[in-house]
Amino acid sequence: MKTSNSWAQRNVLITGINGFIGGNLARRLIADGATVTGIERNQDRQSMFYYEALDKHAQIVNGDLCDMAFLERVIAEGRFDTCFHLAAQVEVGVGFTSSYLTFETNIRGTYTLLDAIHKVGSSIKAIVIASTDKAYGSYPSETMPYQEDYPLKPQFPYGTSKACADLIAQSYANDIFGLPIVITRFCNIYGPGQLNFSALIPDAIQCGLGYATFIPRGNGNHIRDFIYSADVADLYARIADALSKSPDSFRGKVYNAGTNQPRSVRSIIEQLFEMLDKKDDLKVILARMKSASTTGEIDTQYMDFKTVERDFGWQPKTSFDDGLRQTIDWFEGYLRTEKGPHI
């Protein structure tokens, strides 16, 4: 299923456009010829979106997703045909320290956006909601990978906020409201431009390059799945394209996506530091990880891609080795530009 030609005449709204996934998706759709508008609450110049000057090719509106009047105005004036709702408080740790902010942003921001779309009676034919694997919570390893019909039983504030947002989105997709919504739950996403250094891979890269000291997030035994950002942008485009063409076939559905290649956190760190030829640093980090706390971590999380392959012809294209190398290369350039030579 190819999507590039179909985006040339499309008018797209992306919430959270200056975030990691928003920036990668914007880059993809701009290259495909779409007209892109993004909503951002804070004009954060420390983002891939601005670092790669994508703002020169998109329209940006500043405002709060919890402000109904603002959203109604943007949607009415924009005459969009597609909406990607990617704005969120995405840091699991912030969910513990600022639960109110997490719930306010992820839950209220979602229902305010969807209610504004409903009230305006807009021309939007596809709404893609970004959720997370954390919404499922903890399941025994023998039941992995997660399946779309697994009950949601999140354990921590971030996952709970996204699970609540999912239920809200599904209520707006029902026959009463009839909004053309698809919910996506993906595994951990990584790649160029992920400037959230609380995330494992960008933090490990900046530490391996000598710009910070690595802080262990556990003993390294937790199992995770990682999917490359460009592959995610491709899948988002495929889902929105199919939804807009056949809303009754996809409305209200949930789609998981991962690579079905579970890895321990320890193995990821080992591979990354070996790529950087920092074996001595690796020994120090692994020693520190042995005694690190595992509080707030789910033991095993990974996903396959059988449902999105069936419905959208999608498979992950980028191997973990290639994706990690491309990510390291991007960060080497970024950190050298923004922070100077290695320390």
Contacts of 177 (CB under 8 A, 6+ apart): 118, 171
Domain spanning 5-190+227-257+303-317: which superfamily?
NAD(P)-binding Rossmann-like Domain (3.40.50.720)
Regarding pTM above 0.85, the answer is yes
In the chain, where the domains are located: 5-190+227-257+303-317
CA-to-CA separations, 251 to 10, 35, 91, in angstroms, rounded? 20, 24, 28
- pLDDT per residue, tens digit, the chain (343 aa), is 344 468 998 999 999 999 999 999 999 999 999 999 999 987 767 899 999 999 999 999 999 999 999 999 999 999 999 999 999 887 877 878 888 889 999 999 999 999 999 999 779 999 999 999 999 999 999 999 999 999 999 999 999 999 999 999 999 999 999 999 999 999 999 999 999 998 999 999 999 999 998 888 788 999 999 999 999 999 999 999 999 999 999 999 999 999 999 999 999 999 999 999 998 899 989 988 887 776 678 999 999 999 999 999 999 999 999 999 999 999 999 999 887 665 5
- Distance, in Å, from the CA atom of 221 to the CA atom of 231, rounded to the nearest integer, reads 26
- Both structure tokens of 19: 């975030």
- Asked whether 117 and 68 are in contact (CB, 8 A), the reply is no
Catalytic site residue from 158, 211, 228, 255: 158
The answer to whether residue 111 is catalytic is no
